[in-house]
Structure 1
Amino acid sequence: MAVGIIFDCDGVLVDSEPLANRVFAQMLTDIGLPTSADSAMRDFMGRSTSAVAAIVEQRLGHALPPTFLDEYASRCEECFAHELRAVAGVEAALGRITPPTCVASSGSHEKIRFTLGHTGLLAHFEGRIFSATEVAHGKPSPDLFLHAAARMGFEPKHAIVVEDSPSGVRAGVAAGMAVLAYAGHVPCEELAAAGGRVFTDMADLPMLINGLLAEQLRPGIDTVREQRDK
C-alpha cells in the first residue's frame, strides 16, 4: 500500500507568495491593469502561469506584451534573492516526516529549484520535483497531483497533499487525495470551503500527517483483524 506526501512549493515550503504577487501587481498596474498585491493573491495564487496569463489577457482585452512573463520571472528572481525565506517551521517539520515526499508546483522547474535551493530546502526533494509544465492542465485541475503520484508510485487514495491556496486544495480533492491546507496567507474558511483540513502552524504538520495516514489505513487493518478473529 504505497503512501506519500505531495507538497506544493510556493506558500507551503517557501514564503514567496507575498513577494511574487507584489511584483506581479506592480507589473500589471504598469501595463494599464491597476492591481493590488492583495487582489493578485486572491485571484491568481496557486494557478499555473498559463492560467494566470489567460485571466489577465481576458481582463486586458488583448495579449500580454511578448516579454512580460520573462520580465516577471526575472524580477521575481531578483526579489527572491534578497527577501525570500522558507516558511516558518517547515524545515523542522520536514525532518519529522517519515513517509516519502515530493513537490508538485505550478511554477517551472527552474523557479522551483531556485527557490528551494535559495532557502536550503532542495536537498529534501532532490529528484522528486514535478511542475505544472509537465501536464496539460494546471491547478485546480487534478492533473499535476495525479502525475506526481504516478511517478512516485503513490496510490491517490493514500496520498496526502499539503497546499495553501483554494485552487491547490481543489486540485488535491479532485485527485481523490486528502488535503492539509496551511493557512499562511488565505483565510481559514476559504481553504476549508475548498475541501482542505486547515492548520496554521507547521509544527503541527507531522502529527496531522500521521493522523491522516492512520485514518486511511484503518479500514485495511480492521479487515485483517476481522479475518484473523474468525
Structure 2
Amino acid sequence: MRYDLVIFDNDGVLVDSEPVSNTILAAYLTELGHPTSYEDSLRDYMGGAVHRVHDLVLERSGQRLPADFDEVFHGRVFAAFERELKPVEGAVEVLEKLAGDGVAYCLASSGSHERIRVGHRAAGLDTWFDEKRVFSSQDVGRGKPAPDLFLHAAERMGVAPEKCVVVEDSPLGVRAAVAAGMDVYGFTAMTPAERLSGATGFFEDMRELPRLLA
C-alpha cells in the first residue's frame, strides 16, 4: 500500500444512498414549486452539503426555501434509509481488506453526523466506523469543493496530505481532494468518469479498489 490513510466519501461510496436521497430531494423541491428531476438533483447537489441546495435555489429563483426545509428533508431521508439503505456492493470487502492489512481509513462526508450515523446503522456499517473515524462538513467552515474537510480528516488522523488517498464519486469531492493535494480515485458506478475529471484514476466496481491502491 503506497498510502498511509484512505479517506472515503460516504454517500454513494460506502452507503448506496444517492438514489434514495436525490429521489426525495427532487420530489420535495418540485413540491415546493422548484421543478427538479432526479437527474437535475444528481447533477447539481450530489456530493454537496444541504446549504448548497439553499444557495442554488435562491440564486436561480430569488426565493428562499422554507425555514423547516432541512428538518423535513432529513426526516424523509432518514425514514427511507431505515427502510431500504444498503452498503455499496463490495464496500464491506474493501473495509475488511484494509483492516486486515493494518491500513488506516476514515470517512469525510458532506452529510451531517446524524445522517452518517443513521445511514451506517441502517446499512450495518456502524461497526466499521467509530466516532474517531467520522468527519463531517459540520466540523469545518467550508464543505466540498473546498479542501478543508479532507485536510481536517488528515490532520485528525495524523497523516500528511500527500500520504492520503481519497475515494470519491462526486465532482465536488474530486475537486476538494485535488485542492487538498491528495490523490483521488473516482468511483464511476453512478457518475461518468468525464464528470470526475482531475481524478488520479477511475474504477466502477468497489472490489477493484484495493488493487488500485496497492
TM-score class, shorter-chain normalisation, is over 0.9
How many corresponding residue pairs?
Answer: 209
C-alpha spacing 1:28/1:133, structure 2 compared with 1 (3 Å)? same
Residue of structure 1 in register with 2:37 after alignment: 36
Equivalent residue runs for 1:88-167 within 5 Å: 88-97=89-98, 98=101, 99-127=103-131, 128-167=133-172
Shift of 1:195: 2.6
In the alignment, structure 1 residue 171 sits paired with structure 2 residue 172 = no
Gaps of 5+ in 2: none
Cα RMSD (Å): 1.3
Shift of 1:37: 0.7
Runs of 4+ aligned residues of structure 1 deviating over 6 Å after TM superposition are none
Residue of structure 1 in register with 2:204 after alignment: 200
Calculate the TM-score normalised by the size of structure 1.
0.88
2:25–2:73 contact (8 Å) kept in structure 1: yes
SS in 2 for 1:180: strand
SS in 2 for 1:144: helix
Residue of structure 2 in register with 1:8 after alignment: 9
Q: Which has the larger radius of gyration?
A: 1
Any idea what the Cα deviations from partners look like across 1:65-119, whole Å, max 9, x if unmatched?
Answer: 1111110000001111111111011101111113100110000001101111111
1:169–1:196 contact (8 Å) kept in structure 2: no
Gaps of 5+ in 1: 211-230
SS in 2 for 1:150: helix
Residue of structure 1 in register with 2:191 after alignment: 186
Taking only the aligned residue pairs, the percentage that are identical comes to 45
1:47–1:139 contact (8 Å) kept in structure 2: yes
Shift of 1:29: 0.4
Calculate the TM-score normalised by the size of structure 2.
0.94
SS in 1 for 2:97: coil
Any idea what the Cα deviations from partners look like across 1:168-200, whole Å, max 9, x if unmatched?
Answer: 011001100000111121112211x23341100
1:162–1:181 contact (8 Å) kept in structure 2: yes
